[in-house]
């Protein structure tokens, strides 16, 4: 039943109020008892490394079912992309207080995505007012995108719903919803991220498992990216220069550029915001102006600024706004922080060159931003991929990126 569609009698209102309180109790009891359920539960119990889901396409609609890598994260990895509240809900199966969620009264038209991995879970068309205090939906956007799990915690038997791709806890589903399904998906606001139908076009994902390489913006793109026509010349004497780039998670970009010939050092950090917000917890809110960035120190007699940009564009997706793979937010935007007019001119000219060459199937959204300051990230972020090669996130996203670069730019990559 949609908001305001039908009236009910006074008697029925009392019945509904009683039923609502009962359903609130069923959903909120874990909150009252404490929700520190061990996260080994749910979600990532499947032995398969892939899962079949439906992704957003370039026109902002859901595509056909495809296989994608299953995201399996440790608590530390969850904390890299989630706020404390989101981590408690998605990882520890917590519950936000009723009537507190930011999306409870959201009436805009669009998709509700998984806050952790960006998978489309629900549509505004199926959202209704249940009176329970949590966002409610009578059906998912795609049945493949959620999983149902029997939940026997707290002396009750309920049906938990989790994100099919990352396993994040969303809430529960009850059989007291409106037609046509009779279901009520009672979902935590903090487990969701809203995107309008129009903005959903920029959230499109290309399938990294089944799609042909020529249709994937990253796959083998280096083979067809031209060298920059405008570039800084190689220096005649050894020296040092710096480049600051943002292309998604700095774990991945740091590892990649550490393997480029002529690169002396790569540091993970934050750029674009102020000093007082340059810490991981605050940057993860997506409100600081910072982007997860890397500062590359290189020898300009061995590699040029333009050559670094060619590798940069070939190894991330510069066509998705505020997103790289499963990481969503302004802190994951594609950006070049130019230190001087020369860097700005080279970067701007190269973007124009790639655009005219139709190097990508979608417009490049990489921003050119003046460099003001770079703030080194916390120590545990430095050389993370090298120190933690078996982390699922590193194995799924960083290592394939590096192997692709080594294959595409073999003569520019260091030999181990």
Directed axis angle between helix 341-356 and helix 305-314, to 10°? Answer: 40
3-state SS assignment for residue 206:
coil
Tally of CA atoms within 13 A in the half-sphere of 114 that contains its CB: 35
Region at 87 (left for phi over 0; alpha for psi -120 to 50; beta for the rest)? alpha
pLDDT at 26: 42
pLDDT at 325: 80
| Pair of tokens at residue 182 | 């009779």
Pairing outcome for strands 374-376 and 241-247: unpaired
Distance CA 377, CA 150 (A): 40
| Pair of tokens at residue 172 | 């529960």
The per-residue pLDDT for range 338-368, each reduced to its tens digit, is: 999 999 999 999 999 999 998 988 899 999 9
Low pLDDT (below 50) residues in the chain:
1-46, 207-220
Q: Which residues are catalytic?
A: 186, 249
Percent share of the chain, pLDDT over 70: 82
The fold of 10-200 is: 2.170.150
Directed axis angle between helix 399-408 and helix 305-314, to 10°? Answer: 130
3-state SS assignment for residue 95:
coil
pLDDT at 1: 34
pLDDT at 220: 47
The answer to whether 134 and 209 have CB atoms below 8 angstroms apart is: no
Nearest CA to 205 out of 61, 48, 356, 402 is that of: 61
Into which CATH architecture does domain 212-412 fall? 2-Layer Sandwich (3.30)
Distance CA 256, CA 259 (A): 6
pLDDT at 353: 95
Nearest CA to 305 out of 365, 239, 359 is that of: 239
| Pair of tokens at residue 121 | 């879970």
Q: Which helix (H) or strand (E) holds 52?
A: strand 50-53
Per-domain boundaries in the chain = 10-200, 212-412
């Amino acid at each position: 039943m949609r908001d305001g569609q039908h009236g009910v009698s006074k008697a029925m209102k009392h019945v509904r109020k009683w039923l609502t309180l009962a359903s609130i109790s069923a959903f909120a009891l874990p909150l009252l008892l404490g929700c520190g359920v061990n996260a080994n539960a749910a979600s990532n119990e499947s032995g398969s490394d892939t899962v079949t889901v439906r992704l957003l396409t370039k026109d902002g609609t859901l595509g056909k079912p495809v296989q994608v890598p299953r995201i399996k994260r440790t608590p530390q990895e969850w904390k890299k992309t989630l706020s404390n509240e989101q981590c408690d809900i998605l990882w520890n199966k917590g519950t936000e207080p009723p009537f507190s969620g930011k999306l409870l009264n959201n009436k805009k038209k669009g998709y509700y995505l998984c806050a952790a991995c960006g998978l489309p879970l629900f549509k505004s068309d199926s959202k209704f007012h249940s009176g329970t205090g949590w966002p409610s939906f009578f059906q998912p956007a795609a049945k493949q995108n959620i999983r149902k799990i029997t939940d026997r915690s707290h002396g009750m038997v309920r049906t938990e719903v989790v994100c099919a791709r990352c396993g994040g806890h969303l809430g529960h589903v009850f059989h007291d919803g409106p037609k046509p399904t009779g279901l009520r998906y009672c979902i935590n606001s903090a487990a969701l991220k809203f995107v309008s139908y129009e903005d959903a076009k920029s959230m499109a994902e290309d399938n990294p498992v089944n799609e042909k390489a020529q249709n994937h913006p990253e796959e083998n793109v280096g083979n067809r990216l031209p060298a920059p026509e405008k570039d800084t010349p190689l220096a005649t004497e050894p020296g040092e220069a710096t480049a600051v780039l943002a292309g998604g998670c700095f774990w991945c970009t740091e590892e990649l550029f550490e393997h480029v010939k002529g690169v002396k050092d790569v540091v993970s950090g934050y750029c674009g915001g102020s000093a007082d917000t340059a810490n991981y917890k605050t940057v993860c809110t997506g409100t600081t102006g910072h982007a997860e960035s890397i500062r590359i120190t290189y020898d300009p007699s061995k590699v040029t600024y333009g050559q670094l940009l060619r590798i940069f564009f070939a190894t991330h997706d510069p066509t998705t706004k505020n997103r790289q793979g499963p990481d969503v937010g302004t802190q994951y935007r594609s950006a070049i922080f130019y230190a001087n007019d020369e860097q700005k001119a080279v970067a701007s000219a190269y973007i124009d060159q790639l655009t005219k060459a139709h190097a990508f199937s979608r417009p490049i959204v990489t921003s050119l931003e003046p460099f003001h300051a770079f703030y080194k990230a916390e120590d545990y972020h430095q050389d993370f991929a090298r120190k933690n090669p078996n982390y699922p996130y590193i194995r799924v996203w960083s290592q394939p990126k590096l192997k692709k670069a080594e294959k595409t730019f073999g003569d520019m990559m260091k030999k181990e």
